């Protein structure tokens, strides 16, 4: 029997589940289809949440092992219990995914378990675990099927020795040698986890710098800090093959400049070269839903695909592959379907790397502004001169604020240092309100806090920092 809904959302990740809840709040009859055993998508199951659990625990382990003894917190017989650490991570994931299920019940969102495809303009077909097919009718459909790890030619992921981020979140023992292909944020976060737990980590990156698109000064500082932490880097190097030989991975790579070839062996290889839109089994071409040049679903400014009543959000469409971007699009598309005027400000989407120290950014980089011929001023303040960072012995890094040369309007902020992943929100809000660097500089910041570094960087835009 067919059941009717106002909107069916395919995919229960941050884009899809948030969109479902917002639509329900707006009074729609909503169903969300999810093929994974639990809700929450990549983010809650194999992305943001499990990686942050391991980042937090491995950082604590590393600090107790290597730093606390010198600070008067002495411990003997410190032992790593990886099984317990993984169990804790799995428990956090379960609690949060069950939390989304609870929110669905609370908001009366129907949870359809199985794989969804669009079989007609207003029909979604769901195939469950027992291969049973059910058809559901909807006035509107939202595709939020997210993304999947990708690889490069010559490298096949087996999730045993050559793994994606999903495999690297669940190693059953600490690999002695870990090679990471790709110096983006996922590779560097997972590299930090396993380095702190005892692996010898080597990152092989095609470009001559890490984190493509990041402010150059921050990227250089970040590389310096990671090297100081003992992570090895082979930059400007192209991996040609990675093979499994007698339970070990053999990775061949060539330096782009010198053409020198090298071969490294490792217990595990993490392939972290990016992600691709997950379009499998959606039936897009039959529905005449068009893709863009990057193989993502093409949408207009209202998230409409090439079919009138079908929308798409999150990792399957253009823009950064980030959970909070998907969530914001989920809210906005729900409001657009309700006839309201939703809007996502892509200039103020922050990005954060949860290493130690953290790295955070919002808005334009200097390179982007130069390309756009926009004249700007820069203010910088080092954590070395921030009293709270100093007493906590976490003085690596700095805050950089970029403002328009004439109007002083804040155009971007780039930070590396303790807690900057949380601190970036201050500049995001300032930018949303169209603030100037003078506005931030004249805002009272609690003392002693790391956030004073933001105020001082804003003062530095006008060359008048107090503490540096």
- Residue from 199, 278, 356, 365 that binds ligand FAD (CB under 6 A)? 278
Taking contact as CB under 6 A, which single stretch among the options 145-153, 231-239, 359-367, 388-396 is the one that binds ligand FAD? 145-153
CA–CA separation, 187 vs 31, rounded Å? 35
Does the protein bind ligand FAD through residue 358 (CB under 6 A)?
A: no
CA–CA separation, 99 vs 91, rounded Å? 12
Q: By rule CB under 6 A, what string of x and - marks binding of each residue 287-316 to ligand FAD?
A: ---------------------------xx-
Contacts of 100 (CB under 8 A, 6+ apart): 12, 17, 39, 40, 44
Q: Where do we find the tokens 């937090």?
A: 56
Least separation in angstroms between CB 391 and ligand FAD: 28
CA–CA separation, 319 vs 363, rounded Å? 14
Q: Is 246 left (phi over 0), alpha (psi -120 to 50) or beta?
A: left
Does the annotation count 447 as an active-site position? Answer: yes
What is residue 190's three-state secondary structure? Answer: helix
Does the protein bind ligand FAD through residue 35 (CB under 6 A)?
A: yes
Least separation in angstroms between CB 466 and ligand FAD: 34
Does the protein bind ligand FAD through residue 333 (CB under 6 A)?
A: no
Least separation in angstroms between CB 169 and ligand FAD: 7
Site for ligand FAD in 219-248 (CB under 6 A): none
Does the protein bind ligand FAD through residue 145 (CB under 6 A)?
A: yes
Q: Which is nearer to ligand FAD, 208 or 280 (CB)?
A: 280
Cα dihedral across residues 279, 282, 286, 288: positive or negative: negative
Site for ligand FAD in 164-203 (CB under 6 A): 165, 186
Q: Is 152 left (phi over 0), alpha (psi -120 to 50) or beta?
A: beta
Contact 369, 411 (CB under 8 A): yes
Contact 235, 148 (CB under 8 A): no
CA–CA separation, 299 vs 286, rounded Å? 17
Does the protein bind ligand FAD through residue 365 (CB under 6 A)?
A: no
- Residue from 8, 321, 334, 460 that binds ligand FAD (CB under 6 A)? 321
Give the phi and the psi of residue 297 in degrees, each rounded to 5: -70, 130
Q: Using alpha carbons, select from 348, 365, 361 the residue that is nearest to residue 421.
A: 361
Q: Which is nearer to ligand FAD, 41 or 397 (CB)?
A: 41
- Residue from 297, 322, 331, 416 that binds ligand FAD (CB under 6 A)? 322
Q: Which is nearer to ligand FAD, 10 or 201 (CB)?
A: 10
What is residue 417's three-state secondary structure? Answer: strand
Does the protein bind ligand FAD through residue 326 (CB under 6 A)?
A: yes
- Residue from 5, 7, 9, 15 that binds ligand FAD (CB under 6 A)? 15
* Helices (runs of H) and strands (runs of E) counted in the chain: 13, 22
Q: Using alpha carbons, select from 429, 343, 345, 340 the residue that is nearest to residue 25.
A: 340
- Residue from 146, 342, 379, 465 that binds ligand FAD (CB under 6 A)? 146
- Residue from 5, 116, 142, 226 that binds ligand FAD (CB under 6 A)? 116
- Residue from 276, 324, 409, 445 that binds ligand FAD (CB under 6 A)? 324
Contact 266, 251 (CB under 8 A): yes
Which residue among the candidates 209, 343, 447, 450 is catalytic per the annotation? 447
Does the protein bind ligand FAD through residue 97 (CB under 6 A)?
A: no
What are the residues facing 143 on neighbouring strands? Answer: 10, 312
Binding site for ligand FAD (CB under 6 A): 10-16, 33-36, 41-43, 47-48, 51, 115-116, 144-147, 165, 186, 278, 281-282, 314-315, 321-324, 326, 354
Q: Which residues are catalytic?
A: 447
């Amino acid at each position: 029997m067919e059941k009717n809904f106002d909107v069916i959302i395919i995919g229960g990740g941050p884009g899809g589940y948030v969109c479902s809840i917002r639509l329900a709040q707006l009074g729609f009859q909503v169903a969300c289809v999810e093929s994974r055993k639990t809700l929450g998508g990549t983010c809650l199951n194999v992305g943001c949440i499990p990686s942050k659990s391991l980042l937090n625990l491995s950082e604590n382990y590393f600090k107790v092992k290597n730093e606390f003894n010198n600070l008067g917190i002495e411990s003997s017989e410190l032992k790593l219990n990886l099984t317990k650490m993984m169990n804790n991570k799995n428990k956090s994931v379960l609690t949060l995914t069950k939390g989304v299920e609870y929110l669905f019940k609370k908001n009366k969102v129907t949870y359809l378990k199985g794989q969804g495809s669009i079989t007609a303009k207003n029909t979604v077909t769901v195939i469950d675990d027992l291969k049973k097919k059910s058809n559901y009718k909807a006035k509107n459909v939202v595709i939020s099927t997210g993304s999947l790890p990708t690889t490069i030619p010559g490298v096949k992921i087996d999730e045993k020795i050559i793994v994606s981020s999903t495999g690297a979140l669940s190693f059953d023992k600490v690999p002695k040698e870990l090679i990471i292909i790709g110096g983006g944020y996922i590779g560097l976060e997972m590299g930090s986890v396993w380095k702190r737990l005892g692996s010898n980590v080597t990152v092989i990156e095609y470009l001559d710098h890490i984190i493509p698109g990041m402010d150059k000064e921050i990227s250089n500082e970040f590389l310096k800090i990671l090297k100081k932490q003992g992570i090895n880097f082979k930059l400007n190097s192209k991996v040609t093959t990675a093979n499994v030989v007698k339970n070990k991975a053999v990775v061949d790579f060539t330096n782009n400049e010198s053409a020198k070839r090298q071969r490294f062996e490792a217990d595990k290889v993490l392939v972290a070269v990016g992600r691709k839109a997950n379009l499998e089994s959606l039936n897009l071409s039959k529905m005449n839903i068009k893709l863009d040049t990057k193989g993502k679903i093409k949408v207009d400014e209202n998230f409409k695909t090439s079919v009138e009543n079908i929308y798409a959000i999150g990792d399957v469409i253009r823009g950064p592959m980030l959970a909070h971007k998907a969530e914001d699009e989920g809210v906005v598309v729900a409001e657009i379907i309700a006839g309201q005027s939703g809007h996502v400000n892509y200039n103020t989407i922050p990005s954060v790397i949860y290493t130690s120290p953290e790295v955070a950014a919002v808005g334009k980089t200097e390179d982007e502004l130069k390309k756009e011929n926009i004249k700007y001023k820069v203010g910088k303040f080092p954590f070395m001169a921030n009293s709270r960072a100093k007493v906590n012995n976490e003085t690596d890094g700095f805050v950089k604020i970029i403002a328009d040369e004439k109007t002083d309007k804040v155009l971007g902020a780039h930070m590396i240092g303790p807690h900057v992943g949380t601190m970036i929100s201050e500049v995001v809000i300032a930018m949303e309100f169209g603030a100037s660097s003078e506005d931030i500089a004249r805002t009272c910041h609690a003392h002693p806090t790391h956030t004073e570094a933001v105020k001082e960087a804003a003062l530095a835009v006008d060359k008048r920092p107090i503490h540096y």
